[in-house]
């Protein structure tokens, strides 16, 4: 009689161990799935996971309101105070992608052959216009692309505007500068409709 009872306990113990192991395997597979497919915001994904952004914009700060002028200068207490005192709609650009060096008081310079700016428009537009202010330009020209479509070339200092075309609400817009060996200082950017 005792032998049957202990056999049943051993059998129940083995079943419990197998059930616990199966539950752990399912849990580990779920953790692996979450690791490869994290449910995070686009800013987090682009900065920490894919390393497309060179500055951490903060959650929700890739969202863009058309017509906002963004100054591509170093973010510090003095520049923030200067912008606050000027009472303008200017903000410091935190949407720069790879290819730009650290910003200083004059703007930001490219440090790779391709440099990127990212927008997440807060509304759709039929004919968006990208405007850029360039300082200290040297070289043969910079090709400017919007989502891999050539929209124009920069050949000098000054303010340059380019027709981007149709943009969609909450759809990432990538502006790419193919520097072609040119050097310049990017001072400000605006996307307008």
- Domains detected in the chain: 54-192 (2.60.120)
Dist. CA 143–CA 153, nearest whole Å: 4
> pLDDT tens digits for 149-165?
999 999 999 999 999 98
pLDDT at residue number 89: 53
φ, ψ for residue 13, nearest 5 deg: -65, -45
Of 13 and 45, more confident? 45
pLDDT at residue number 85: 44
Of 163 and 8, more confident? 163
Taking a C-beta distance cutoff of 8 angstroms, is the pair 135, 108 a contact? no
Please state the rounded mean pLDDT for residues 2-27: 77
- pLDDT of residue 111 exceeding 50, the answer is yes
pLDDT at residue number 84: 46
- pLDDT of residue 79 exceeding 70, the answer is no
Please state the rounded mean pLDDT for residues 92-106: 84
Top-ranked range on mean pLDDT: pick from 30-39, 65-74, 81-90, 166-175: 166-175
pLDDT at residue number 15: 80
pLDDT at residue number 34: 84
pTM for the whole structure: 0.76
Give DSSP secondary structure letters for 9-65: HHHHHHHHHHHHHHHHHHHHHHHHHHHHS----HHHIIIIIS--BSS---TTTTEE-
Percentage of the residues of the chain whose pLDDT score is greater than 70:
87
pLDDT confidence band for 26 (50 / 70 / 90): very high
> What are the angstrom distances between the C-alpha of 9 and each of 4, 18, 124?
9, 14, 67
């Amino acid at each position: 009689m005792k032998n049957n009872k202990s056999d049943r306990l051993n059998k129940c113990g083995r079943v419990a161990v197998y059930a616990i192991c199966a539950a752990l395997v399912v849990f580990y597979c779920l953790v692996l799935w979450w690791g490869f497919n994290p449910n995070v915001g686009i800013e987090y994904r682009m900065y920490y996971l894919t390393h497309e952004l060179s500055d951490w914009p903060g959650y929700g700060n890739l969202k863009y309101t058309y017509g906002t002028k963004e100054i591509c200068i170093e973010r510090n207490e003095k520049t923030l105070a200067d912008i606050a005192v000027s009472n303008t709609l200017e903000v410091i650009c935190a949407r720069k992608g790879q290819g730009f060096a650290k910003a200083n008081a004059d703007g930001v310079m490219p440090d790779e052959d391709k440099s990127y700016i990212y927008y997440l428009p807060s509304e759709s537009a039929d004919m968006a216009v990208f405007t850029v202010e360039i300082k200290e330009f040297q070289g043969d020209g910079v090709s400017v692309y919007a989502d891999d479509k050539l929209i124009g070339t920069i050949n000098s200092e000054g303010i340059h505007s380019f027709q981007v075309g149709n943009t969609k609400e909450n759809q990432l817009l990538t502006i790419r500068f193919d520097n072609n060996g040119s050097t310049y200082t990017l001072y400000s950017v605006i996307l307008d409709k």
